[in-house]
Structures are given as C-alpha cells and as structure tokens.
Amino acid sequence: MRRAVIIQNGAKGGPRRVGDWLRAAGVATDVVTAYDGSPVPPLHGYDAVVVLGGGFMCDNDVRAPWLPATRALVREALDGGTPVLGICLGGQLLAHVAGGSVTPDAGAPEHGSVPVTIRPEAADDPLFRDLPPTVPAIEHHKDAIMTLPPGAVWLASTERCPYQAFRIGATAWGVQFHPEVGPDRLLQWDAGELEVAGLDRDSLHRQAVADDAVAGAI
C-alpha cells in the first residue's frame, strides 16, 4: 500500500478532509505531530508528503524547531519527484524551499470563505483542471507568498493574495487556502482576535456553511 507522511504543525491543525481523501484513494497516512516534539521522519518509505498549516513563518526555527527537518524533507521530495502538497504554511514552506519568497504580515490578511479564481494555466493541471472558474475556499492567514519559485505554474489567485495555488514540476503543489477544513473549524478561531480585525466569527461561519454547500456540489 502507498503511504503518505503528513506533518502537523499545530494542535488544531489536523489533516481532516485531506486525510480522508488520501485514504479513500488507497493511500495510508502517518500523521506526525511535529508541534509536540514528534520527530520529522526521513522520506524513505513514503510515497507522498503533506505539510499542513501553522501560525508562524516557514523559517521561524526558534518558534518551530522542527522546521529545518521539514524543509529538508520537502527538498528531498522535490529532488526525487515524490508528490508534495503544502497547505497554507506548508504551501509557503514549499515556495520558500524551491526559491520563492514569503513575507510576514503582508498587509492583506484573509479570513473565512473567499472566492478563489482558477487561472487558465490550470486547464491541464491534474488537480485543478476540472474546477469551475471560481470556487469558495477557507482562508486564515496574514503571511503570504510574494514571488513564486522559478518555473512554478501559477494556478489560482484571489483579489488580496495573488498566489493562492501553484505547481512545481509535475508532482508538487502549494495552496494558500485550506481544502482540508470545513466550516466547523471557524468556530475554533479566536473570536477576540477576529473582532480586533473588524470581523465577526459567527458571520464568517454562516458564510462558510453556505459556501460549503456550493463547494460540495462542484
């Protein structure tokens, strides 16, 4: 059986839907809770790598001392053509490892369900080619990718954050949004922090529930 290693960077940031999709496709998953000290394993024995989100920069090795090992794992996967999926922090880490740039607190944060525009370059992409021109996706970030790695294919964008999805080579994808979570995850966000940003958590949740019904029909 094929196996995927999933690097979890925070206590609430599990694989959720992505784990379900992988298992449904016949891929066994090993979730490594790196945030609690579980060591990042070597690539040997794995057929895919998934790096999940987290509330810090992809090179903040002081706050997250497992990041050097995670970057090395992604670098080895890229070099060997092993499939990679990076989500939010994971997508930023993939961009960073491959030669792109990521900026902290980029000034255009996104929270809640946001319309994502699928670009023409996605027409022949194995993951994105069957999507409609615009899809709703859950966002929760303030750091952002500012330049894509050399040779990356730009797949999706939003008004505030252009680099929502990209592909490197034939088998590595990074996304800024959160395909793994459903609307229930928004209820775990800090309501006070959202209020400071002028946002209401309950309103964000209601919109996400409505958009999730649309996404489920795609």
Q: Where in the sequence numbering do the catalytic residues fall?
A: 88, 178, 180
**Residue 41 dihedral angles phi and psi, to the nearest 5°:** -80, 165
Length of the chain counted residue by residue:
218
Token pair for 92:
């930023």
The helix/strand/coil state of 138 is: strand
CA distance 171 to 82: 7
Stretch (H or E) spanning 33: strand 27-33
Cβ atoms of 25 and 2 closer than 8 Å: no
